[in-house]
Structure 1
């Protein structure tokens, strides 16, 4: 969810109207950082978190709080929203985390939440976001679960 503009630009080159490949979202939670872990992404120095990254997470939490949204849930849904993503990939340290991840993908996240994140510059203004429907609803049409998911 953090640094999403550069990722969006990398997978959506100018002029590409239809996706030509499907990708897996990696580090949907920035290695757990979004959900509160004391590390950001991966690597030997992932515990050295820049102050601006911590500030961004706090801003994301504030917006999420105003809308009654769990930030971890929003990050998982955000990583699945792009039509070039085939699935978010999340690690789980327990069976309970698997249930939490599943539940997150069934939860409705208000469209106004995504609009505020874009208006505040916290996510890339052109990034696709879930449009107030659950991933369960999206998959109800059968076939590719991304076919029936309305994006903003």
Structure 2
């Protein structure tokens, strides 16, 4: 069984492609999922790609990670700026996390400049649209590889 990367998407991302296309583009969440699955295959990872408008459901998915999940890529959307439950769940499972945003949150309203997720993330990718997810997969592959090497090294 191949290792899995869990990719979670928060509220309103199910509307991509038709929601504010001038800001978010015409790419749909299904388009992004397909690109992630294709990249995951080349990297040797299974991709578990999900979206929910419900904060509690995202928390439950994070808590339910199992031994074959090696990392989490998260676009918490609006919950990035409001949820303390999501980063608490991320800390609890102890997996590497990469935070992704389609738009450049720092070029937007001031309330979007603060992230509750960033302190638990290994890195943040923002402003590159759907390509940010593919870049996050490349970065996650490196994190997973580094962790595997560290834990298999008998001198650590």
TM-score (norm 1): 0.28
Greater share of residues in strand = 2
The normalised TM-score by structure 2 is 0.28
More helix by share: 2
